Structure 1
Amino acid sequence: RLDWQPPDQQRECGWTSDQPLGVDRFGLYAEISIGDVTQRFRWIAPGTFEMGSPEDEPQRTDDEVPHQVTLTQGYWLADTACTQALWMAVMGSNPSRFQDDPRNPVEQVSWNDVQEFLEKLDRRVPGLDARLPSEAEWEYACRAGTTTAFSFGANITPEQVNYDGNHPYAGGKKGLYREKTVPVASLPANAWGLYEMHGNVYEWCADWYGDYPSTPQVDPRGASTGARRVLRGGSWYGYGGGVRSAHRRYYYYEPGERNSGIGFRLAPGRGRPAEPAGGTAAAAERTSPAELPPGTGGSSGARGGKPRAWSQLIRDWFTRK
């Protein structure tokens, strides 16, 4: 719940909370800060969706077998790919090719490099339990409730997605090819407040690459072993068909590979919280203060109170009666 504080000589009146949570038009969010770098995370509510692509989707590949997936628990997902600024704040160096803006996504990082980053980040933010999303979590969040080839609809333009506009999707018009990454959150977000899920950089997922099942799945985690790790989302040099919601980068990339089109997105909380009552990952019109988990902050994401492990705060928010 939110407590209303009356004004006094030290403060103005307003809704207050001692947790770093907020809500805006996309839904519930939380933030962490490393030095002067802040990363926002979106709460993704559980649900069921069709993973993969229908057989009539243009430019689909055989490894996109459509199958129903149910995610039984909500989870947190960064609203942007990890920036160079955040990487440098944790690692102290910048491996990226395109270093003209620290808000650009970090790239030229391997899956193995990311594991080192996650370990160091956990030491900087005790209890964060940083991880990569599963492939199913990634696609569910990318689609944001849609069933079309893209979260923006049946087609895209370079004004929405950073890809090679010389190679549009399924009869679309040619457009801008930027030939580089762009700063995160500089292009439109999807309906759940997630930026650049299509294009800009491919994003590592936790899973080993493997064949999809054809039967319904619950909380899938991909193949148990393999030679390659999953990459999703397409990149700045990708063609239109390669940035679809269902597209899987299915060749060449072992855990040690690096490329100027490869980055990642954080999904904190290996031990995920129970889902609260109410649709907190819904758009603002479906989210009111009464629906938010106990202790939720207002739109400013209020901070303060006694320090606790980040993951313990998350668990407290969603289990407190």
Structure 2
Amino acid sequence: MTSVLSIDPSLHPLINGCPPAWASEWGEDRYGVFVAFTLDAVTQRLRWIPPGRFRMGSLEEETQGLAEDDAERVLFEQEHPRHAVIISRGFWLFDTPCTQALWEAVMDENPSRFKSPDRPVEQVSWDDVQTFIDRINARIPNLGLSLPTEAQWEHACRAGTETALYTGPIEILGENNAPALDPIAWYGGNSGVDFELEEGNDSSSWPSMQHPNPRSGTHPVGKKQPNPWGLYDMLGNVWELCADGLRHYEPTMAVDPEGPTKIGAERVSRGGSWGGEARSCRSAFRVRGGPGGRGSYLGFRCARVQAS
């Protein structure tokens, strides 16, 4: 049997030129391998995320000084200890959050506050997303979508990096001011820039914004710089739901770890959002909420795990 650590991360399901039957396009570019499906004229691209080993969580220094009270200290302690994680199987992942166009093609309705087809769908709960996944998998045979586990999400977000952001460290100059986020994420410091919808959130009183604006909200997906594996909006725009709940970190190595998945369990969300403070838009930051919770900050992207 091949060891997990000896897997060649360059191998992928398209290596022999055999795309899945549902693929409407596929290929390779400077970010790696991609495949896409099309449903009712809406095309969604997925990126290949190779198996491998990464360090999950943050170093103590990264969260030092971020907490303002004891409750927040507990929140940031959830990122420690940093530990080795092995993702034993490669998987496909939407290269953007799920758009309103794709949601509407599957669900025939759009619950989003900031309505436009190319913006991420929001105001959807974890339970809602399970219905979406069931329906899209029924319409496209062998598509096999799911939500990524929290470990899969962080592996994909980091894309081989170990810093607070996948572009490097983060310097937080104020609650909503971290210049390193500007090129890669829509967050509380810049989500009002070029925001054109009338129903924008009043952000005129938000403290220390990098780019002060009277109205803020989500933005069309894929407008900021992607990470090294070609994934857009992994940080900012909308929080992204994961398949599992909050796992207590241990210092030992974990293989394909999962948090609680029982019915009704709280689920983890990752990545920060358009209204999030700079400190929440980091690769290691994690929050949790009930499976029925919704908000204009909350969205998702789907994964497709490669069969053994």
TM normalised by structure 2 equals 0.77
Contact 2:243 2:261 in 1 (8 A): no
Residue 161 to residue 214, structure 1, CA distance change in 2 (3 Å):
same
- Report Cα offsets for 1:28-64 as digits up to 9, x if no partner: 0110000110000001111111100001003371001
Residue 55 to residue 162, structure 1, CA distance change in 2 (3 Å):
same
Aligned mates of 1:63, 1:190 — CA distance in 2: 24
> 1:208 aligns to what SS in structure 2?
coil
Q: Which moved more, 1:223-232 or 1:68-77?
A: 223-232
Q: Which residue of 1 aligns with 2:202?
A: none
Q: Which residue of 2 aligns with 1:273?
A: 307
Contact 1:70 1:218 in 2 (8 A): yes
**Alignment pair present for 1:54 and 2:59:** yes
Where does the alignment leave 5 or more consecutive residues of structure 1 unmatched?
4-15, 275-321
> 1:120 aligns to what SS in structure 2?
helix
Residue 142 to residue 2, structure 1, CA distance change in 2 (3 Å):
closer
How many percent identity over aligned positions? Answer: 47
Q: Which residue of 2 aligns with 1:114?
A: 129
**Alignment pair present for 1:127 and 2:165:** no
Q: Which residue of 1 aligns with 2:204?
A: none
> Structure 2 counterpart of 1:138, which letter?
W
* Among candidates 251, 265, 282, match of residue 227 of structure 1: 265
**Alignment pair present for 1:75 and 2:91:** yes
Contact 2:33 2:47 in 1 (8 A): yes
Aligned mates of 1:173, 1:105 — CA distance in 2: 23
**Alignment pair present for 1:39 and 2:77:** no
Q: Which residue of 2 aligns with 1:64?
A: 79
> 1:241 aligns to what SS in structure 2?
helix
Aligned mates of 1:176, 1:165 — CA distance in 2: 7
| Structure 1 moving runs of 4+ over 2 Å | 16-21, 157-160, 172-178, 223-227
Pairwise CA distance, 1:173: 8.4
Pairwise CA distance, 1:166: 7.7
**Alignment pair present for 1:149 and 2:173:** no
Q: Which residue of 1 aligns with 2:195?
A: none
Pairwise CA distance, 1:115: 0.2
Count of aligned residue pairs for this structure pair: 253
Residue 224 to residue 40, structure 1, CA distance change in 2 (3 Å):
closer
Aligned mates of 1:215, 1:246 — CA distance in 2: 17
Q: Which residue of 2 aligns with 1:238?
A: 276
* Among candidates 286, 289, 299, match of residue 263 of structure 1: 299
**Alignment pair present for 1:195 and 2:232:** yes
* Among candidates 110, 128, 138, match of residue 153 of structure 2: 138
Aligned mates of 1:210, 1:261 — CA distance in 2: 23
Q: Which residue of 2 aligns with 1:206?
A: 243
> Structure 2 counterpart of 1:273, which letter?
A
Residue 32 to residue 224, structure 1, CA distance change in 2 (3 Å):
closer
* Among candidates 114, 117, 124, match of residue 98 of structure 1: 114
Pairwise CA distance, 1:214: 2.4
Structure with bigger RCO (C-alpha 8 Å, 6+ apart): 1
Q: Which residue of 2 aligns with 1:254?
A: 290
Pairwise CA distance, 1:176: 5.1
Aligned mates of 1:159, 1:232 — CA distance in 2: 19
TM normalised by structure 1 equals 0.74
Q: Which residue of 2 aligns with 1:159?
A: 183
Bigger radius of gyration among the two: 1
Residue 17 to residue 144, structure 1, CA distance change in 2 (3 Å):
closer
Pairwise CA distance, 1:224: 4.8
Contact 2:83 2:252 in 1 (8 A): yes
Q: Which residue of 2 aligns with 1:26?
A: 31
Aligned mates of 2:56, 2:211 — CA distance in 1: 29
- Report Cα offsets for 1:52-87 as digits up to 9, x if no partner: 000100337100121110111111111000000000
Contact 1:105 1:263 in 2 (8 A): yes
Residue 77 to residue 17, structure 1, CA distance change in 2 (3 Å):
closer
Pairwise CA distance, 1:210: 3.2
> Structure 2 counterpart of 1:54, which letter?
L
Aligned mates of 1:246, 1:159 — CA distance in 2: 19
Q: How much is the aligned-residue C-alpha RMSD, in angstroms?
A: 2.4
Aligned mates of 1:231, 1:182 — CA distance in 2: 19
